[in-house]
Structure 1
Amino acid sequence: MTAVDYSKLFRLDARTVVVIGGGSGIGRESAQALAAHGAHVVVADLKIEGADETVQLIAEAGGSAESFQLNVLDDAEVEAAAERFGTASALVFTAATNVRKRMEDYTLDEFDRVVNLNMRSSFQLIRHFGKRFAANGGGSIIGFASIRAQVVEPGQGVYAATKAGLVQLAKTAAAEFGPQGVRVNVVAPGVVETPLTAQIKANPEWYDAYAKKSAFGRWSRPEELAGAVVYLASDASSFVTGSTLMVDGGWTAIDGRFTPPAS
């Protein structure tokens, strides 16, 4: 048996990783972390200016990256991107949106907007990149779900449904592409300080209630998701597929917000 060099378990040297949504937030931090571990990162985003800024940050740190404009709602663009970058070793996608409304108040236009970005585009990315990775001997696909795939609250119905759907898509893709060496997993954050949660952060009572739900008494920061991405993109997770990696500060593990007396 060949000895494993564990010092290189998380290294991504000579590999290309595509990060969709890499122009800001969790995607930007993930892109920087992947580059720091040796990957050449394709920073893809609808807003090319944000992608360019991420590339600049990576370059300033001595890493390798390129920017790429991509609209994940355009099927032809997604298929072309998969063809162009199909020899990459990993795909990471973070793009999502939310409309916080109770179901009775939702419009079908709002429903379509959330489902199309969160669910339909995920389906397209997974199947097109999965097919290309499979043809090239394997790869890792990493999507971003949420605690809302498991636990919900009023006003989160459609968003939660799309994230639960992504979890099941990942499991199915893991089964279908696994024989060709393709791994498919999702990261499930708790509440992260990103533009998507700005509405909550602006309300002190709401913000504090969410902070108390974490075992650490605070929200997570985007950079705290980057380690999970590096792990799932690297050989450190070579036998991990069809899984949901919770990075939620204990949100889904802890029962309630009250600490009872021990005796």
Structure 2
Amino acid sequence: MAYERLFRLDGRRAVVIGAGSGIGRESALALAAHGADVVCADRDLAAATATAERCGGAARLLDVLDTGELRAAAAAEHPVDVLVFTAATNVRKRLLDYTGEEFDRVVALNLRASFEVIRAFGAGMVERGRGSIIGFASIRASVTEPGQGVYSATKAGLVQLLRTAAAEFGPSGVRVNAIAPGVVETPLTKQIKDNPAWYDAYAAKSALGRWATAEEMAGAVVYLASDAASFVTGSVLHVDGGWTAVDGRFDPPN
């Protein structure tokens, strides 16, 4: 085993959906830094192009809510060795305040589009007999709070979709895993960051006592994409600063 090359991705083609900003952008930069040929896909072409210019990759306009466009992209970019997808949305409301339209919007992007992404790119990987699919779930797949019900449900559903894909694609040599971040400073969490009390409460919840940066998710992506994770599939890798390990903040007296 050439351990010095365990995390190298030379000669591999990676597609990162959501590469225009946040975790997707940092994932694309990290994969490229380890040798991958990266396609930066996003519904914001200018943002995707900016990321592509930084990592020496290509940019692609892609709206994952358009199934036909998604399938066309998978066909055009074939063969793909690594797929990373981060696109998600959230409407932070209590269940009794939710509208049907808001429910449909969150489910459409977080769950239905993920279903189509896995199928569109997974088919080519299964045909070739290799590949790594990495989807971004959340700590909300396992722990929730008031106002996070629909988002949590979609992330729990995504975990099960990815696990099922791992079971179905595994015999063909394709690995499928989820990364579950804690609180990360991205455009999706701007609403929280703009509220100091809310922001500080979330920081205090993790064992490390702070938020993560998007860059801190990149190592997990490279790991799951690489041969270092050659026997890892159907897993949920929590990158949450210990959030899901800590239950309460009381410090008992000596």
TM-score over 0.5 for the alignment?
A: yes
Supply the distance in 2 between the matched residues of 1:79 and 1:150 (Cα, whole angstroms). Answer: 31
**Match for residue 132 of structure 1?**
124
Answering whether residue 96 of structure 2 is matched by residue 98 of structure 1, we say no
Supply the distance in 1 between the matched residues of 2:148 and 2:241 (Cα, whole angstroms). Answer: 20
**Do the aligned partners of 2:26 and 2:218 also contact (CA within 8 Å) in 1?**
yes
**Match for residue 61 of structure 1?**
none
1:176-255 aligned within 5 A: 176-255=168-247
Structure 1 residue 86: deviation in Å?
3.0
Supply the distance in 2 between the matched residues of 1:14 and 1:138 (Cα, whole angstroms). Answer: 14
Supply the distance in 1 between the matched residues of 2:7 and 2:53 (Cα, whole angstroms). Answer: 23
**Do the aligned partners of 1:86 and 1:136 also contact (CA within 8 Å) in 2?**
no
Q: Secondary structure at the match of 1:245?
A: strand
Q: Secondary structure at the match of 1:128?
A: helix
What is the aligned-residue RMSD (CA, Å)?
0.7
Answering whether residue 39 of structure 2 is matched by residue 27 of structure 1, we say no
Comparing 81-90 and 68-77, the one that deviates more = 81-90
**Do the aligned partners of 1:25 and 1:222 also contact (CA within 8 Å) in 2?**
yes
**Match for residue 42 of structure 1?**
39
**Match for residue 14 of structure 2?**
17
TM-score by length of 1: 0.95
**Do the aligned partners of 1:18 and 1:91 also contact (CA within 8 Å) in 2?**
yes
1:121-142, Cα deviation, whole Å (9 max, x unpaired): 1000111211110001110000
Supply the distance in 2 between the matched residues of 1:178 and 1:33 (Cα, whole angstroms). Answer: 25
97, 122, 125: which one aligns with 2:114: 122
Q: Secondary structure at the match of 1:11?
A: coil
Unaligned runs of 5+ in 2: none
TM-score by length of 2: 0.99
1:156-185, Cα deviation, whole Å (9 max, x unpaired): 000000000000001100000100011110
Q: Secondary structure at the match of 1:140?
A: strand
Answering whether residue 71 of structure 2 is matched by residue 74 of structure 1, we say no
Q: Runs in 1 of length 4+ with deviation above 3 angstroms?
A: none
State, as a whole percentage, how many aligned pairs show the same letter.
68
Structure 1 residue 197: deviation in Å?
0.5
1:214-259, Cα deviation, whole Å (9 max, x unpaired): 1111100000000000000111100000000000000001121222
Structure 1 residue 55: deviation in Å?
1.1
**Do the aligned partners of 1:14 and 1:39 also contact (CA within 8 Å) in 2?**
yes
**Match for residue 156 of structure 2?**
164
Comparing 82-91 and 95-104, the one that deviates more = 82-91
Q: Secondary structure at the match of 2:202?
A: helix
Answering whether residue 174 of structure 2 is matched by residue 175 of structure 1, we say no
**Do the aligned partners of 2:177 and 2:233 also contact (CA within 8 Å) in 1?**
yes
Answering whether residue 52 of structure 2 is matched by residue 55 of structure 1, we say yes
Amino acid aligned to 2:239: V
**Do the aligned partners of 2:141 and 2:156 also contact (CA within 8 Å) in 1?**
yes
Amino acid aligned to 1:258: F
Amino acid aligned to 2:18: G
Amino acid aligned to 1:167: V
Answering whether residue 138 of structure 2 is matched by residue 146 of structure 1, we say yes
Structure 1 residue 23: deviation in Å?
0.5
**Do the aligned partners of 1:97 and 1:114 also contact (CA within 8 Å) in 2?**
yes
**Do the aligned partners of 2:80 and 2:124 also contact (CA within 8 Å) in 1?**
no
**Do the aligned partners of 1:78 and 1:128 also contact (CA within 8 Å) in 2?**
yes
